Chains A and B, each alone.
Chain A
């Protein structure tokens, strides 16, 4: 029993992080119909950025957290401005190669700046594990769940109750239509890049005390975030969250009941299964019409 609670809890923790990364994909996809293959690098930059602000510059957590989020969000804007907007014919293959290029460029840069070895980042609360139903729960897990919950609520308010949020959704539904209505889709794209990069950065910030921060952590987390977004049906906020949590729990149970070697394979197998059986995701409509 306590074992299952333990697996569930660590699964939810990892899942919450996948959910944040998946939200980044979803948000960007909704506003621009683009999948950013550098999304995982924003996660990596969040982690390494936090390491630098906390351990090198000695900032307190409450200041370092928003500062890193802001910096990573700005990087998203820079990426959009320099590498996406100048593209004349935005076809998927072109955008994929460009964002992949951005991804390994950032990774190479991170390797030069931070070195090849991972850095450890202190937990947000230095308390001892809390015992619940015989399972030991790390305070960092609670932190992660709280941050993700807040983010979800904020995003929901943003997209349902602010003009900008609604405009962004309108872009997703009909780009040229939104343009006719006077919604500046360029500015929306930029905002979407900023927000999705910031979400990736936050994912990296909250995960760093658990996994350590290293230049090569981005690919796997990016892929898993995409898998989560696909599970929930790319384009749906709640789908991204459910998909993330589901992936996290399945992984953790897989590790618990089979072996840890299988962990990374689970996300991939799920991704393939979902691509083959229901490309619109578990929660999405039956047919993929948007492609």
Chain B
């Protein structure tokens, strides 16, 4: 995207947020929008890895949980201010990802996937078993809300605005990232790893860097979730959550920043509209993943858009 289009998109998006923040006054809708915002951050984070580095993580819930539990433990057990915990949990997520990514990302895509699948499972085990710190299976309560100046940002209008402002910033910065030296190298990598390396791109390192970045965004979503909801439990950070993130990316489309918003909305709203959904949730995700990847490997929105464009240029 060029600078001008980016400015327009950002302005339009900011306008939409401003209008929504005033128009939506129903508490349930506010909550729903908040969750969609958090899920959008998750989808965006994973999409930076899947769409641009062509790699996949099956354990991103661990980074989500690291953000949430990290800040939860520091603020409730150690009395830290959330703003002091904030940089620490983000750095921790980035560091864990880098340590896992650096060796595995030199190999084929299967290794990061397996490594992160293991990480996700271990993360969930730790959240569930480390009773004294995490509250075990029943979870953690009483995580303090965020405060800016004298204003408490909690679930409701203020929380919704906070989340969407963060989403707006994430979009803005990711968009800039994609249109930069690093972003071009990433997209080049996705097209042809050999040619990218021949152009002097240190492919192993670049993939580890973007994996780290993706983990940081995911932990940021966890941080917001913990402080807005005030309560966290291990079931929000399990294997199925990791799969939910993958599904959001697959629906939203690979390497599509605004598609993340669409993928996150679908995955958040589906269970709300279809109450029987929870029984079939896994089967539906499974089918979606298989069908989309077999027939539209660029993801649902990208695939449909490409198909439409094909029809248009033919007629």
Direct A–B contact in complex, judged by CB atoms less than 8 Å apart: yes
Partner of B121, one of A37, A87, A220: A220
Contact A272-B293, Cβ < 8 Å, known A93-B50, A101-B285: no
Closest residue of chain B to A234, judged by CB?
A: B110
- B118 at the A/B interface (Cβ < 8 Å)? yes
Closest residue of chain B to A264, judged by CB?
A: B125
Q: Encode A64-106 as 1/0 by CB contact (under 8 A) with B.
A: 0000000000000000000100111101111011101111111
Partner of A101, one of B114, B122, B240, B286: B286
- A142 at the A/B interface (Cβ < 8 Å)? no
> How far is it, in angstroms, between the C-alpha of A24 and the C-alpha of B118 when the chains are bound?
19
Please give, as numbers and ranges, the residues of chain A lying within 8 Å of B55 by CB-CB distance.
93
Partner of B290, one of A35, A98, A227: A98
- A63 at the A/B interface (Cβ < 8 Å)? no
Cβ A83 vs Cβ B294 within 8 A: yes
Please give, as numbers and ranges, the residues of chain B lying within 8 Å of A265 by CB-CB distance.
122, 125
Cβ A268 vs Cβ B285 within 8 A: no
> How far is it, in angstroms, between the C-alpha of A92 and the C-alpha of B297 when the chains are bound?
12
Cβ B110 vs Cβ A35 within 8 A: yes
Please give, as numbers and ranges, the residues of chain B lying within 8 Å of A108 by CB-CB distance.
280-286
Minimum C-beta distance from B280 to chain A (A): 7
Closest residue of chain B to A273, judged by CB?
A: B103
Q: By the criterion of a CB under 8 Å from any partner CB, how many residues of chain A are at the interface?
A: 44
Q: By the criterion of a CB under 8 Å from any partner CB, how many residues of chain B are at the interface?
A: 43
Cβ B250 vs Cβ A104 within 8 A: no
Contact A100-B58, Cβ < 8 Å, known A35-B110, A261-B129, A264-B121: yes
- B100 at the A/B interface (Cβ < 8 Å)? yes
Cβ A101 vs Cβ B290 within 8 A: yes
Cβ A291 vs Cβ B287 within 8 A: no
> How far is it, in angstroms, between the C-alpha of A88 and the C-alpha of B303 when the chains are bound?
14
- A127 at the A/B interface (Cβ < 8 Å)? no
Please give, as numbers and ranges, the residues of chain A lying within 8 Å of B240 by CB-CB distance.
104
Partner of B111, one of A83, A94, A219, A279: A279
Closest residue of chain A to B119, judged by CB?
A: A268
- A50 at the A/B interface (Cβ < 8 Å)? no
Please give, as numbers and ranges, the residues of chain A lying within 8 Å of B115 by CB-CB distance.
271-272, 275
Q: For residues 247 through 299 of chain B, which have their beta carbon under 8 Å from a beta carbon of chain A?
A: 250, 279-290, 293-294, 297
Contact A89-B282, Cβ < 8 Å, known A100-B246, A220-B121, A272-B115: no
Q: For residues 42 through 71 of chain B, which have their beta carbon under 8 Å from a beta carbon of chain A?
A: 50, 54-56, 58
- B109 at the A/B interface (Cβ < 8 Å)? yes
Interface residue SS majority, chain B: helix
Closest residue of chain A to B110, judged by CB?
A: A35
Partner of B239, one of A105, A109, A219, A275: A219
Closest residue of chain A to B130, judged by CB?
A: A261
- B107 at the A/B interface (Cβ < 8 Å)? yes
- A119 at the A/B interface (Cβ < 8 Å)? no
Partner of A109, one of B54, B243, B283: B283
Cβ B125 vs Cβ A100 within 8 A: no
Partner of A107, one of B50, B111, B246, B282: B282
Cβ A100 vs Cβ B111 within 8 A: no
> How far is it, in angstroms, between the C-alpha of A97 and the C-alpha of B239 when the chains are bound?
14
Partner of B107, one of A86, A89, A96, A291: A291
Contact A105-B113, Cβ < 8 Å, known A219-B121, A275-B103: no
Cβ B286 vs Cβ A103 within 8 A: yes
> How far is it, in angstroms, between the C-alpha of A237 and the C-alpha of B59 when the chains are bound?
28
Q: Encode A207-220 as 1/0 by CB contact (under 8 A) with B.
A: 00000000000011
Cβ A105 vs Cβ B122 within 8 A: no
- A267 at the A/B interface (Cβ < 8 Å)? yes
> How far is it, in angstroms, between the C-alpha of A87 and the C-alpha of B293 when the chains are bound?
8
Q: Encode B119-148 as 1/0 by CB contact (under 8 A) with A.
A: 101100100010000000000000000000
> How far is it, in angstroms, between the C-alpha of A96 and the C-alpha of B117 when the chains are bound?
12
Minimum C-beta distance from B8 to chain A (A): 32
Contact A101-B288, Cβ < 8 Å, known A35-B114, A93-B54: yes
Please give, as numbers and ranges, the residues of chain A lying within 8 Å of B118 by CB-CB distance.
223, 227, 267-268, 271-272
Please give, as numbers and ranges, the residues of chain B lying within 8 Å of A94 by CB-CB distance.
293, 297
> How far is it, in angstroms, between the C-alpha of A262 and the C-alpha of B132 when the chains are bound?
16
> How far is it, in angstroms, between the C-alpha of A220 and the C-alpha of B117 when the chains are bound?
10
Please give, as numbers and ranges, the residues of chain A lying within 8 Å of B103 by CB-CB distance.
275-276, 279
- A146 at the A/B interface (Cβ < 8 Å)? no
Pick the 9 closest A-B CB pairs, nearest first: A105-B286, A108-B282, A101-B289, A92-B109, A108-B283, A101-B290, A268-B118, A276-B103, A291-B108
A-B contact pairs, 19 of them (CB 8 A): A83-B290, A86-B294, A91-B297, A92-B108, A94-B293, A97-B293, A101-B286, A101-B293, A107-B282, A109-B283, A111-B279, A219-B121, A261-B125, A264-B122, A268-B119, A271-B118, A275-B104, A275-B107, A291-B107
Please report A residues at the B interface, Cβ cutoff 8 Å: 35, 37, 83, 86-89, 91-94, 96-98, 100-109, 111-112, 219-220, 223, 226-227, 230, 261, 264-265, 267-268, 271-272, 275-276, 279, 288, 291
Task: Give 13 new A-B contacts, CB below 8 A, not counting A108-B281, A271-B114.
Answer: A37-B113, A83-B294, A87-B294, A93-B56, A100-B289, A101-B288, A104-B240, A105-B286, A109-B283, A112-B280, A112-B283, A272-B115, A275-B111
